[in-house]
Amino acid sequence: MDILDNIILRANNLRKNYGKFEALKGVSFEVKKGEIFALIGPNGAGKTTTLRIVATLLTPTDGSVEFMGFDLRKNPDKIRQGITYLPEEAGAYKNLTGLDYLKFMANFYAEKPQDVDMYIERAIKIVGFKDRLKDKVGTYSKGMTRKLLLARALMTKPKLAILDEPTSGLDVINSLEIREVIRGFVEEGVSVLLSSHNMLEIDFLSDRVAIIDKGHILEIGEPKALKEKYSADNLEEVFRRLVQ
Amino acid sequence: MRKFTNLLKKEVKELITFQLIVSLVFTIGMFYFIGNIVQSEVQKAEEKRDIHVFNLDNSQESKALLDGLSYAGFKVNLLEKKDKAEAIEYAKNSNISLLIVIPEGFSEAASKFQFKEIEAYSFIRSFSMTSSANAAIVDQVISEINKLLSNNFLKTNFPDFNPEDIKNPIKSRDFVVVKDIMAEGSAAEVSNIVYSQSIFIPVILMMIIVFSSQMVLSAMAMEKQDKTLETLLTVPISRNQIVIAKMAASALVGLISAGIYMLGFRYYMGGFMGNIQESGQLNELMQKLGLQFTSGDYVVLGISIFLAILCALGLTIILGVMVEDLKSAQTMILPLIFLVMIPYFISLFSDINSLSLPVKILIMLIPFSHPFIASQNILLGNYAVVFYGILYMLAVFIILIFICGRIFSTDRVLTMKLRFGKKGFAKNS
């Protein structure tokens, strides 16, 4: 990690090709410690591809990612120790109970058995449905599953939580709860890299945003500064002006 | 190691579902049930040497003939009826399956060498195994009567000779030679024993391979279908450990499932094959010929089977990367099943060594062929073939694991798909 500027993640000139299709055309950004950095843009802009690269799932065609001093290509295992990833369409193992699922995931990050208990306790506070944790995940509603997965991503207090559309498909109440949970963990030192096509949500949640479209980052900055720069009431307007 | 155990436990938990347990219990129960029915039918067929006789001759000679049949192991029941029609009617209405009618004047005609026909009535009331056995009993009865009559005739006319010597003047002694060992005995009996002992090995192997592979494919398909694979691939555990945990869990559950299925299958086959037991003499012959497995032989056979399972699992992991859901997993298992079926059927119905060289090479290139032929080669002392097979399977397994590791360490694990009807592999964008 760059101590001087407090940068935890640095993505430099990322390119990703799927055959002849260029999903990313040179994406660069940085995430600082304890901030929520959001990638916003329409569907197919390259948000998920970027997050998947940072989460060590995809190898970039070109460019580099450095997380806490570790290079993505050389040390993916080291990077995985410091991150958690919540995919947009993630699911949990349906045959496991919610509690078993959390224990299963906690065991990958725990250094000692007591850590597992601590993680589970934290997760229970996030999900808010302790009484249903002994039921199989297959019986959960979409909102419950999403909360369980978010709890899984945050319970270990990772250095960087990568959240792809964290409130995707959730109702207003559940979305608000999840936003509050994310904000709470950031206050405790967790950095968050998230993506959303819901620009109003990002406006409320993030410290800095990168507006991405067709594999290019068009602008990076704090929501307030961007709105001022483009004389816009919200980020949607900023985006519209940028792509026009 | 703790992380690996954690993953392995999860994989096993995911595989041992309520549906799997119900299916196993149902299958073993069904095999047991069918096996018992078949066994009781076979026993009935074997025990059924019950014959009913309506003797119109009533001479001392014909009575002696019936005594001879009793002596030969038939249970003779004499019917006391007014005439043949009544006897047939009685047999029809009773549960009699075989009625022998000895005609009037039979003995007198026989003494003049003018034989009258014996009538045999078989009553078919079903087409079960027991029923078909009656046909064989008719032949046995007639053959026994012929034997008794011809022996009597020969004894009367050639009192100084043994009738058997006259009928079969040439005697033979059978010897079996296996490699450098020779022993007195019947080659047919030896072949039957070896066949009955080794018939289960290809069946067991086939079941284990198919089961374990199906488990791996299902596990991979479930990960993709339930969208859990992406999360799993970002947790701090090496990709190789993910591959090995999936293989180990599937092999474990596959072995248990196959073991349970085999138990049921044994009941089932036991019904057909009855109690194939070696007589003391035959056992001695097998020992003399060295046609018995030593503990070392079992270890070698076990290694061969185990490596075949590992090769199957390695191949399945690669196929599993290309599946998208459970439905596509069912299709994806087919190439593997064909690869197992080819040596399976060849080992059951043919001798791989007798095939032409190009076909033999092709068969030997399939790693699963080696354990199929291992048991017979071990018995015949052809250890070199078995060891080369083991080395070949080990090499194939190492290559497969290397390929799996490469696939899992790149994004191909998420992007590789096999699209039927299109050009080979396609990337998901």
* Interface residue A111 vs chain B (CB under 8 A): no
Q: Which residues of A touch B238 (CB under 8 A)?
A: 77
Q: To which residue do tokens 């555990």 refer?
A: B237
The ipTM is: 0.91
| Pairwise CA distance, residues A12 & B272, whole Å | 71
Residue A138 lies in a domain: no
Residue A104 lies in a domain: no
At B270 the pLDDT is 63
Helices B2-15 and B200-225 sit at what angle, rounded to 10 degrees?
100
| Pairwise CA distance, residues A56 & A76, whole Å | 6
Report how many domains make up chain A: 1
Q: With an 8 Å Cβ cutoff, are B228 and A52 in contact?
A: no
Alpha helices per DSSP H over A155-222: 172-187, 199-205
Residue A54 lies in a domain: yes
Backbone angles phi, psi at B44, to 5 degrees: -60, -45
Residue B74 neighbours by CB under 8 Å, 6+ apart: B49, B50, B51, B140, B141, B144
At A155 the pLDDT is 93
| Pairwise CA distance, residues B386 & A130, whole Å | 58
Strands A191-196 and A208-213: unpaired
At B424 the pLDDT is 40
Per-residue pLDDT of chain B (429 residues; tens, 9 = 90+): 788 899 898 888 877 877 778 877 887 788 788 778 877 776 766 665 788 999 888 888 888 888 888 887 788 889 888 888 999 999 888 888 888 898 888 888 877 777 778 888 888 877 766 666 667 777 888 888 888 888 888 888 888 888 888 888 888 888 988 878 888 888 888 888 777 767 777 777 787 788 778 888 888 888 888 889 889 999 998 888 888 888 888 888 877 876 777 677 666 666 555 554 546 677 788 888 888 778 888 888 888 888 888 898 889 888 888 887 777 777 888 888 888 888 888 877 777 778 888 988 999 999 988 988 888 888 888 899 999 999 999 999 999 988 988 888 888 877 766 554 444 433 333
Q: Show the domains of chain B with their CATH numbers.
A: 2-39+187-420 (no CATH), 49-160 (3.40.1710.10)
At B422 the pLDDT is 44
- Inter-chain CB pairs, A–B, below 8 Å: 78
Q: Which residues of A touch B226 (CB under 8 A)?
A: 91-94
Give the model's confidence band at A220: pLDDT under 50 very low, under 70 low, under 90 confident, else very high. very high
What is the CATH classification number for the domain harbouring A180?
3.40.50.300
- To probe the interface with A, which of B2, B5, B230 has the most A CB atoms within 10 Å? B230
At B197 the pLDDT is 67
Tell me the shortest Cα–Cα distance from B234 to chain A, in angstroms: 6
Other CB atoms within 10 Å distance of the CB of residue B151: 16
Residue A144 lies in a domain: no
Give the model's confidence band at A32: pLDDT under 50 very low, under 70 low, under 90 confident, else very high. very high
Query: What do you get for the CA distance between the two ends of chain A, in Å?
Result: 37
Which structural domain range is residue A205 located in? 7-90+159-243
Residue A137 lies in a domain: no
Q: With an 8 Å Cβ cutoff, are A21 and B227 in contact?
A: no
Instruction: Give the nearest partner residue to B227 out of A87, A104, A105, using CB atoms.
Output: A87
Give the pLDDT confidence of A47-98 residue by residue, as tens digits: 999 999 999 999 999 999 999 989 998 998 899 999 999 998 888 888 889 9
Q: With an 8 Å Cβ cutoff, are A21 and B3 in contact?
A: no
Residue A63 lies in a domain: yes
Strands B175-178 and B181-184: antiparallel
- To probe the interface with B, which of A100, A104, A115, A154 has the most B CB atoms within 10 Å? A104
Other CB atoms within 10 Å distance of the CB of residue A150: 25
Greatest C-alpha distance within chain B = 100
Secondary structure of residue A92 in the 3-state scheme: coil
Q: With an 8 Å Cβ cutoff, are B234 and A90 in contact?
A: no
